[in-house]
A and B are shown apart, each in its own frame.
Chain A
């Protein structure tokens, strides 16, 4: 549900621009299989998607004037009434959540967190009320804003993801756990009546991406319907037979290379005879299988929050 720049570095060049980090039409997402496979998030659990149309970037600035050593809470969910602090300044009773989650499935919001210069840092918790995501594994030193020492543990500063070129990304989908950011004023900009005040200013660049699920058969350019129990000669130099084929020549290594359930995928050599099972068989060249592997490796992986802690 979040990424930093570093996991992307093996996909980009040193000359990468910030725009390159934004998902675009044709970008791939791979959601963790740890997203619960239920009515809420089952549509994405363990699946791969392509961004099917041009994305829409919505800048969403959020600022707060805070007293030194104080913090505010930015809840990105849609769970209560909307709020935008400062327009007008809400009371605590009026403060709601920031509505940065999609309202339908098959949509992901890629949110770039860009921080303006200031004497503050930000702590991230998923879901709300838990100890921050950026923590050490030891329970002896849980980061807490109430603790004058450990509040700094895992804190994100403006220089870590500056507004001009943010490198800190959060991802929201329908019904995903609450993502909560807490900007903490650690110093200030101006003094009033002997008290130091400062402004936290964060721009959330919400990149709205419409998704379409892709599977191996989606990228195959040759699909042959085969009658039940018939045989045919493999037409390409090497092919994979998906969903319903039988072939005695398949090796374990070949199955591992294909990377899909061995029960459904077979690799055959040129000229060999393949006997199909019931129904249709989709014939996919090895080139397509390799492309599928490449997509799986290069798709932007979206972990579930519980993969980010506990180690």
Chain B
């Protein structure tokens, strides 16, 4: 009977420690006194980092390359949230996984919905489309929301935040103009987009593209295409003589490869960045670089 005694002792000790732990003042190790900002995705973190500068510390929950739609939180992520002063949540159905985690970990942090104020495209069967960030004009709203949130938790540096926010908005406007110029080289008849899932609606509306079809129907990558849908898509690719299909870095490109084979004509398979930035030092390691890369790839691919 020795084993059970051993373990019951362990249990009692742990129970005691639990009791002690709850009475103990917070032992959080905070290496700096800077406000702690936690963003759910790398893209939001990039924007927030530009605005916060040296005045706040920005962390990301999602590791690089991970799909925001399917993610398993670890204690490190929970710890970040517990220690946060401000949490930047995307909203519009992109990061629902963070809600239960938020209510379990923080009660004092400010929560900022970066897409506040934007009107989302809706469809009856697919729900809300969260992919605002592929259109830089809409990201201006993100920047404004992040800036006011930062100001709210750290009013001392509100001037600095506002200045950097304006700078960022300036850059975004320049980006928008650059896109217009680049896209002008592509005749409208050839602006047919086939993407991995339906993430480019806002982009398409803004820059006059046609979403001819998507490999995975809907906005959420867990949905599976039926055999019928895949066949229909191959047919469209063939009839409209689409030159390229665009896959995403965060999703397996196998389905896209299948469609290109099925369509019976040479179709390039090109990768875009939609859910996540590239690694540091890569071709799309900041929001602006990501958009530039995407637009160039699209235009070159369809030309």
Q: Do A and B bind each other?
A: no
Binding site for A on B (CB under 8 A): none
